[in-house]
Amino acid sequence: MKKLLLVSVMASLIIANTAIAQTPAKDERMHWWREARFGMFIHWGVYAQLAGVYDGHVQQKSGAEWIMNLNKIPVADYQAVAKQFNPVKYDADEWVRMAKEAGMKYIVITAKHHDGFALFKTSASKWNIVDATPYGKDLLKPLAAACKKYGVKLGFYYSQAQDWNNAGGAVSRKKAADGWARPDSAAIDAYTLAHNGHWDPAQTTSTFDEYINRVAVPEVKDLLTNYGDVAVLWWDTPTDMTVEDAQKLQALLKLQPNIITNDRLKRPDFPGDTKSPEQRIPKPSEMDGIDWETCMTMNGTWGYRASDHNFKSTETLIHNLCDIASKGGNYLLNVGPKADGTFPEESVTRLKEIGEWMKVNGEAIYATKRSPLPLVDWGRCTEKQEGTNNILYLEVFNWPKDGKLIVPAVPNKVISAKIIGSDKKCSVKSQGSTVELTLPETAPNTYASVIKLVVSGNVVDATAK
């Protein structure tokens, strides 16, 4: 018992010392991120070549990037797919330009996902874009150059524990039946249960600790050394991680003193800088006082699946962005590029339309704080301080049919009210703590119209808990 207590105390001291060694202070490191509010997630790898189809079977559920695990594809067979992966239409400059024009301030790309395939040159494993594909070139270097050119922050997603190709990597226990009802599902499931989730003997010729030392540590070092400033390191699924293994990776952060990390290295011992709710937008009370970022797909999958055309509408995506900003969070919106290196047309269209909205209304998103108002049925609200005044940005989704917009819990004196991007006027009437705006008959924007309401002093936080 004393030995266990000593180990726990030592681990805590190591973590604390690493946090102290990582300078500058958190508020300074987080400043740009807290103002950004909007970023692009990119899931890309060998799975894009399969596009959600294996052995004639069209994958119907879960992310297409999980196709190797869901269908228990043997390591040799999956690695053979890489021999076809040749993204000759990849244009990093075009990717970053699209992100910037959409109003996104940073990009996080899957430098290595759970299939263990690295989009960069590394000596830690031959399972990388340079050594395993006919393309033969590092995909991250031109992306880093384009991000620098356009002033977009660059971040790397790295699957630190799960790795289905490099021996010793962890595997989340997904049954074969989760992929499709293949004849040998029962036998494969029995094997995976007996081998800690692994389905191919090639996955178990090394231990997890050996994998961390041989692959994960040197690859993360490569990422933090060879691509200039790295703004974000986005860990994922800490399956089988120990404090000792996580510490080896955490220690590498000193290579990028300004880097921001999420909470997925090893919970709860390594909380990182940001919480990372996935595919959902939290309630206002869940993340009060916490830096958080919702990551979300445009359709139903992270990686490219040719059969999935069920994309969220531009209106929904803009409403999500406003909702998240109104609760003090960031929106990391995913694109799953095709195997040739191009974005799906549906994604391109939505990015362009979001960008058009952001060009007019971006001030209601960037550098704003969570809403001080209780939830309203007409839309969302963000806040920004301006000297001794406060600006309330009212993002109106449901334009009032009677022309009257009621804003509750604002006893402050109203200085001005203006519809952003419109020359149409709105009048203001205050009564007690309620502000009533009389608006034009029609909304100036079909997705969300924004009213800039400037009031004197601070608005007391009256958010619904």
Q: Give the tens place of pLDDT for each residue, 154-206.
A: 999 999 999 999 999 999 988 776 666 678 888 898 999 999 999 999 999 99
Q: How far apart are CA 318 and CA 316, in angstroms?
A: 6
Position 78 pLDDT exceeds 90: yes
pLDDT band at residue 61 using 50, 70 and 90 as cut-offs: confident
57 vs 5, which has greater pLDDT? 57
292 - beta bridge partners? 275
Report whether pLDDT(59) > 60.
yes
Q: What would the mean pLDDT of 140-146 be, rounded to a whole number?
A: 98
Q: What pLDDT is stored for residue 181 in this prediction? A: 66
Q: Is the pLDDT of residue 306 over 60?
A: yes
pLDDT at residue 362 in the model: 98
Q: Report the alpha-carbon angle 393-397-400, nearest 5.
A: 100
Q: How far apart are CA 48 and CA 304, in angstroms?
A: 5
| Mean pLDDT along residues 130-142 | 98
Q: In this predicted structure, what is the pLDDT of residue 177?
A: 64
Is pLDDT at 316 greater than 60 in this prediction? yes
pLDDT > 70 in the chain, percent: 93
What pLDDT is recorded for position 464? 56
Mean pLDDT of 120-147: 98
Domains of the chain plus CATH, in order, are 2-364 (3.20.20.80), 379-456 (2.60.40.1180)
pLDDT at 179: 64
Mean pLDDT rounded to a whole number for the chain:
93
* Residue 18: exposure state from Cβ atoms within 10 A (0-12, 13-18, ≥19): middle
Statement: residue 22 has pLDDT above 80: no
Q: pLDDT, tens digit, for every residue of 389-419?
A: 999 999 999 999 999 999 999 999 999 999 9
Half-sphere exposure of 372 (CA within 13 A, CB side): 18
Buried b (16+ CB within 10 A) or exposed e, 268-303: ebbbbbbbbbeeebbebeebeeebbbbbbbbbbbbb
Q: What is the pLDDT of residue 23?
A: 52
pLDDT of 219 > 60? The answer is yes
pLDDT for res 24: 65
Count, residues in the chain: 465
pLDDT in tens, 243-277: 999 999 999 999 999 999 999 999 999 999 999 99
CA–CA dist 407, 11 (Å, integer): 50
Structure confidence by residue, pLDDT tens digits, 325-383: 999 999 999 999 999 999 999 999 999 999 999 999 999 999 999 999 999 999 999 99
Per-residue pLDDT, averaged over 110-126, amounts to 98
| Beta-sheet pairing, 330-335 with 293-296 | parallel
Structure tokens of 403? Answer: 């022309």
**In 10 A of CB 308, how many CB atoms?**
23
